[in-house]
Chains A and B, each alone.
Chain A
Amino acid sequence: GAVVSQHPSRVICKSGTSVKIECRSLDFQATTMFWYRQFPKQSLMLMATSNEGSKATYEQGVEKDKFLINHASLTLSTLTVTSAHPEDSSFYICSAYRYGYTFGSGTRLTVV
């Protein structure tokens, strides 16, 4: 079946630094990648949608200059959290689409 590999699974960074999260579709080409954020005991909230080779579309209220998304190929998308602050601490998860949605394993980001 379709597999999406997401790394790292956990990361702790200092306030003000940047963190990059990678999602790779291992056995299929993803036409679209969705990035979600999930705070404790809450639902998955869509941050942005990216298509290969084009700029990401961000949801209302999501700062595009803070959450940089690159979808350079049909198998790789990255989310970079720039100048991270404690309030950015959350569970970030990607979802690759090709005739269905396949989720990555998620990244637990803690900003200290």
Chain B
Amino acid sequence: GENVEQHPSTLSVQEGDSAVIKCTYSDSASNYFPWYKQELGKRPQLIIDIRSNVGEKKDQRIAVTLNKTAKHFSLHITETQPEDSAVYFCAASNSAGTGTASKLTFGTGTRLQVTL
């Protein structure tokens, strides 16, 4: 089955700096790679996702890059703000936009702390 590794486990940045979180996956059939932000006791919130036919996607301060050959994808947050502090999870599945669901396999999570 799919295995998703995520690094780093914790990340502390100063407000305004950039943060990068990296994930690798093992199953070449995976074609959908979402990123979630989770605050304590809350549901994971989708912040951005990318499908395997795209190499990069950007949404304001957040961007995701995908390297299918190397089987890794990264989350980039620019101009970090204190409200970006949370736990971030990457995930992978092979359900990109189809009506058939495949399970999401989550990475181990990154605790991001944005300090003033």
Interface size, chain A (Cβ < 8 Å): 22
Alpha-carbon distance A106/B76, docked complex (angstroms): 27
- A43 near B44 with CB under 8 A, answer no
- B42 near A105 with CB under 8 A, answer yes
Set of chain A residues within 8 Å of B97, measured between Cβ atoms: 99-100
Alpha-carbon distance A104/B100, docked complex (angstroms): 19
Bitwise, B22-62 to A at CB < 8 A (1) or not (0) is 00000000000010000001111010000000000000000
> Interface SS of chain B: helix, strand, loop or mixed?
loop
Residue B106 lies at the interface, judged by CB distance under 8 Å to chain A: yes
> Interface SS of chain A: helix, strand, loop or mixed?
strand
Partner of B108, one of A43, A98, A100: A43
- B41 near A91 with CB under 8 A, answer yes
For window 63-112 of A, CB contacts with B under 8 Å fall at: 91, 93, 95, 97-101, 103-106, 108
Binding site for A on B (CB under 8 A): 34, 41-44, 46, 89, 95, 97-101, 103-109
Given contacts A42-B109, A95-B104, A103-B43, 20 further A-B contacts (CB under 8 A): A31-B100, A32-B101, A34-B101, A34-B103, A34-B104, A43-B106, A43-B109, A44-B44, A44-B89, A46-B105, A49-B103, A91-B41, A93-B43, A93-B44, A97-B95, A99-B97, A99-B98, A99-B99, A101-B46, A106-B42
